[in-house]
Amino acid sequence: MNCKDELHEECGVVGIYGVEHAARVAFMALQSLQHRGQQGCGIAAVDADGSIRIHKEAGLVKDVFGEDELSGLEGRSCIGHVRYPTTKVGGRENLQPFGITGKIGRFALAHNGNIVNAEEVKLAMESHGHLFSSTSDSELFGHLIGVGPVSLGWAANIGHAANQLDGAYATVVLTENALYACRDKYGFRPLSLGRLGDGYIVASETCALSLVGAEFIRDVEPGELLVIDADGVHSHHFSTERKHRMCSMEYIYFARPDSVIEGCSVHVFRKRSGALLYQECPTEADLVTYVPESGMSAAIGYSEAGKIPLQMGLLKNMYVARTFIQPTQAMRNLGVRMKLSPMRSIVNGKRVVVVDDSIVRGTTSKQLVQMLRDAGAKEVHMRIASPKYAWPCYYGIDTGTRDQLIAAQMSEQEICDFIGADSLYYLSEEALFKASERTELCTACFGGGYPTDLYGYSEEKE
Ligand code: SF4
């Protein structure tokens, strides 16, 4: 679903402590997290004098950081961030990490997720005279840390701030002497800890650990705050209430297939879900294909389970600008054709199963089906490796409002008719849990059962 109507990723974070040329390592790690956000990126590093230096700009990691920028960020600890704007305003002022000077001292903070009671907390702080320069939840988090009593120390202040915020966050905080990393008490967003030489790294996905040669230690637990300093790693639990509501879309779509989230390989999960998709809805077909690339692992599972050959029926153009807004539907249609091409030599005259990870608005699926038919496909059967996406996400995924989600507006048969497929089937929620071998996940966008209070976070507020 990388190229369509489209769910957007929700940022990625990295933190490094006790590693030579930490910012250069973060530069590499952030590139492996680039799929989580392409709007902008930044790195904050502690230099030899204990000062925190920050460089952040709009653009991809490879374009924002060159030799000049990285040589200005020397030091053995840093944090980094790639951003997709989860707030409606996506301006430069929201790029991360944020540098904040509070009563307790100077620090930098970067965050992934969305805080559902941010407005309430912000209003309360503003009524006490606090000023905010951005619409980012991260700045709010930083202010809460910054106003904490100095006597409590960093860990207690960060834990206290985290406890006041409800929703989804994986957050890294950098001070002169330590790196702090925490996850919300529901565990919506992934965050893993690894060992790198004599130091440590935390990152949104284990693919970042692998890339820099770090050894995976464990996941940061929901409601846990890790303190990483000269004495090693110390664990604190800032919340007694701990759940394991990992975002199921991390497994289905957002995370890289070579990442492992809370013990479950993303690729293995997707393959299993594809096999279950076949078991739930066997289909007679000549070939299985996929919407590149997030549909690929599930398509492998479907193909193996059904003993139907897997073929590359759709080709993705890697060099098309990732985000662009076209003023008319006709131009948007062309946009899909620029990004995906059907392989006539493969699909012509064939009964084709197309595996995709999800359908959000349906307009791209409709064009895909038409493109395959134009390329000669005799039948097109859409198989979706997730349940119907019918409820907006309030935890950092940009889905639009409920009236924009096709599954909230139409029955399965109506969607099938709308996209013009010969048949359509969505994976069951039961199979989703089976594929992940988990008993707890956030599945709110499928069934509407939000794990948190929404604090009046209604669609009007979006
Ligand atoms: S509502 Fe959906 S997209 Fe949002 S956190 Fe839950 S599972 Fe993930």
Average pLDDT over residues 202-213: 98
| Strands, E assignment, 321-413 | 340-342, 351-356, 379-384
Residues with a catalytic annotation lie at 11
CA of 446 to the centre of ligand 1 (A): 8
In the chain, what are the domains? 12-243 (3.60.20.10), 267-439 (3.40.50.2020)
- Please give all residues whose beta carbon lies within 6 A of any atom in ligand 1, as ranges: 188, 247-249, 393, 395, 397, 442-445
What's the distance, CA 42 to chain centroid?
17
* Two tokens, residue 326: 């076209």
Report the C-alpha gap between 246 and 254 in whole angstroms.
12
Q: Nearest Cα to 197, choosing from 333, 387, 19, 390? A: 19
Rounded to the nearest integer, the mean pLDDT of the chain is: 91
DSSP 418: H
pLDDT at residue 404, rounded to an integer: 87
* Two tokens, residue 404: 């924009």
Pick from 32-36, 204-208, 402-406: least confident = 402-406
Residue 38 has pLDDT above 80, yes or no: yes
* Two tokens, residue 41: 């990126």
Model confidence over 294-334: pLDDT tens digits? 899 999 999 999 999 999 999 988 776 554 445 566 666 67
In this structure, the residue with its CA closest to atom 8 of ligand 1 is 247
Residues in the chain: 462
| Predicted structure pTM score | 0.93
Mutate to test the pocket of ligand 1, among 6, 9, 252, 443 (most ligand atoms within 8 A of CB): 443
Report the C-alpha gap between 437 and 261 in whole angstroms.
12
Q: Which ligand 1 atom sits closest to the C-alpha of 399?
A: 3
Amino acid letter for position 176: E
Helix (H) and strand (E) counts for the chain? 17, 21
Residue 2 has pLDDT above 50, yes or no: no
Residue 90 has pLDDT above 80, yes or no: no
Percent of the chain with pLDDT over 70: 92
CA of 353 to the centre of ligand 1 (A): 27
pLDDT at residue 133, rounded to an integer: 81
Average pLDDT over residues 257-277: 97
In this structure, the residue with its CA closest to atom 4 of ligand 1 is 393
CA of 247 to the centre of ligand 1 (A): 5
Model confidence over 436-446: pLDDT tens digits? 999 999 999 99
Q: Do you find a cis peptide bond into 342, omega within 30 degrees of 0?
A: no
Q: Which ligand 1 atom sits closest to the C-alpha of 391?
A: 1
CA of 132 to the centre of ligand 1 (A): 28
Amino acid letter for position 435: A
Report the C-alpha gap between 55 and 70 in whole angstroms.
9
Top mean-pLDDT range of 128-137, 177-186, 312-321, 448-457: 177-186
Average pLDDT over residues 87-95: 68
Mutate to test the pocket of ligand 1, among 188, 438, 446 (most ligand atoms within 8 A of CB): 188
CA of 285 to the centre of ligand 1 (A): 32
CA of 393 to the centre of ligand 1 (A): 5
Q: Which ligand 1 atom sits closest to the C-alpha of 394?
A: 4
What's the distance, CA 132 to chain centroid?
26
Residue 9 has pLDDT above 60, yes or no: no
Q: Which ligand 1 atom sits closest to the C-alpha of 247?
A: 8
Q: Which ligand 1 atom sits closest to the C-alpha of 250?
A: 8
pLDDT at residue 324, rounded to an integer: 44
In this structure, the residue with its CA closest to atom 2 of ligand 1 is 445
